[in-house]
Amino acid sequence: MSNFEDARARTGFSGIFSVAGLPAELKVSFWIWFLGGILGLLGGLLGMLASLTLFAAAPGPALGVLLLMLLAATVGTAQIIFALRMKEGKQWARLALTVLTAVTLVLAMVNLAMRVGQGGNWAGFLISLAATVLLWLPRSQAWFAGARAGRGNGTGTS
């Protein structure tokens, strides 16, 4: 059984957490993206709950905060989905995670230009950058090429 087949062998809920058959680089990248997505989703949900208390004092800004927290939860959910699809060998998911890293860089630069925040965007960007570099290293490239070739019989596209 090939590494790609090993990675896809487990299905169901336990398969979500299985990284068997992935190169070490992709295992690390998967966990960074997956756990980051979980944190983003939870942070967004908790932020939405917290913003509800702001409605009593300042309804206008509270709506803005609520929408930003909804966006954060949505991005966290997307990050989880992209990480799971990346683990399955989907090229589009690897590209989507790369785009998320670029968006994180833009947000960090906007944060710096506005002179707000405490540098959290830069930490998030550096972590995303490390996870993204791992997605594009030679062993990762070879694994994705093998995944694409393994599905070349009409069972799916990358």
Query: What percent of the chain stands above pLDDT 70?
Result: 82
pLDDT tens sequence across 83-114: 999 998 999 999 999 999 998 888 888 877 77
Give the span between the Cα atoms of 32 and 141, in whole angstroms. 18
Instruction: State pTM to two decimals.
Output: 0.79
In the structure encoding, which two tokens stand for residue 65, read together?
A: 């905060």
pLDDT of residue 92: 96
Q: Work out the average pLDDT over 46-67.
A: 87
Torsion over CA: 56, 57, 62, 65 (sign)? negative
pLDDT class of 156 with cuts at 50, 70, 90 = very low
SS3 content of the chain, % helix, strand, coil (to 5): 80, 0, 20
Could you tell me which residues come within 8 angstroms of residue 34 by beta carbon, excluding any fewer than 6 positions away? 79, 80, 83, 84
**Among 13-17, 28-32, 52-56, the least confident range:** 13-17
